[in-house]
Amino acid sequence: MDKPTLCLLVVAMAAPCITGAKLVKGQQSVPRPTMTTEGLISDKLWPGGVVPFVFSKAYSREDQARQLVLKAMAGFENSTCIRFVPRTTEKDFVIINSGIMKSCSAYIGNQHLGSQQILLNPASCFPNGNIGVAQHQLMHTLGFGHEQSRSDRDQFVDINWSNVAQANDSFPLSTEDTTFGEPYDFDSIMHAGMFENAIDKSIWTVRPKEKYRDKVIGQSIQLSGTDIRKINKMYKCPGHALPVPVTTADTKPDLLRKTRNSA
């Protein structure tokens, strides 16, 4: 196992859907201090948007999970210039590993460690066969933190601190985020669900403010339109038109197709 630098390891925050909440919630590991940038720049990027990867030995026995990881990667490649490529001789690369304690976790950005792990436990990180939790972790790997850590989050969500476990480490507020001029995105795959890190798991910890009460947070199905735009901005993806804000999941496939065709 790598000895991860504590402050750079982001654990789980599996962003459960309302329906998937129970499934994912019980399986999260203890949160650790997180780096509080929402999107970080320059020295933590993967050159050319290319992320070399290998599967660990343990993972090579997990055929179904392996297919889901590849599908999660393909979801980035469909709409951004990011490419996940099997590692050959690249110095920095990621190892997809199954980890212990049912963890789903990743470092934020390219740590220049040589190898760095993404932990995706096959039994807990693909609830209902969804790839969203894996995409959440892959998006950490690309250099993004949590949406609810944005420095402006207090305008958009309330946090019920008295119900937050490890209050000092949960929901840190970023002081130096790079939001790429994108609006706060309740629909981000990087946004926590309502019961994230709850002490009493029947009571919310984070929820949209009154005037945004119709918003749903914690989707773990797919990248949002804004997630895609931010990735394209962070990696200066050439030829990737940036789709206009997407608000409903239904319109995404169309937009993505258009984006590709016009690229």
Ligand X SMILES: *[C@@H]1O[C@H](CO)[C@@H](O)[C@H](O)[C@H]1NC(C)=O
CB 1, min distance to ligand X, A? 25
Q: Is 160 in the site for ligand X (CB under 6 A)?
A: yes
Nearer Cβ to ligand X (43/250): 250
How is 62-112 classified by DSSP, letter by letter?
-HHHHHHHHHHHHHHHTTSS-EEEE-SS-SSEEEEE--STT-EEEESS---
Count of residues in the chain: 263
Radius of gyration of the chain from Cα atoms? 17
**Cα gap 83→62, rounded to integer Å:** 22
Nearer Cβ to ligand X (2/169): 169
- Residue 136 assigned to a binding site: yes
CB 203, min distance to ligand X, A? 5
**79's tokens:** 């709409």
Binding residue for ligand X (CB under 6 A) from 32, 66, 71, 201?
71
Q: What angle do CA 220, 197, 224 make, to 5 degrees?
A: 20
Nearer Cβ to ligand X (30/74): 74
CB 43, min distance to ligand X, A? 29
Under 8 Å CB-to-CB from 206, ≥6 apart: which residues? 148, 157, 158, 159, 160, 171, 192, 193, 194, 196, 217
- Residue 146 assigned to a binding site: yes
The window from 2-10, 161-169, 184-192, 213-221 that contacts ligand X (CB under 6 A) reads 161-169
Nearer Cβ to ligand X (60/67): 67
DSSP conformation class of 219: -
Paired residues of 157 in beta bridges:
208
Q: Is 200 in the site for ligand X (CB under 6 A)?
A: yes
Binding residue for ligand X (CB under 6 A) from 78, 90, 172, 201?
78
**66's tokens:** 């392996």
- Residue 112 assigned to a binding site: no
CB 204, min distance to ligand X, A? 6
Residues that bind ligand X (CB under 6 A): 71, 74-75, 78, 160, 162-163, 168, 200, 203
The binding site comprises: 136, 140, 146
Annotated binding-site ranges for Zn(2+): 136, 140, 146
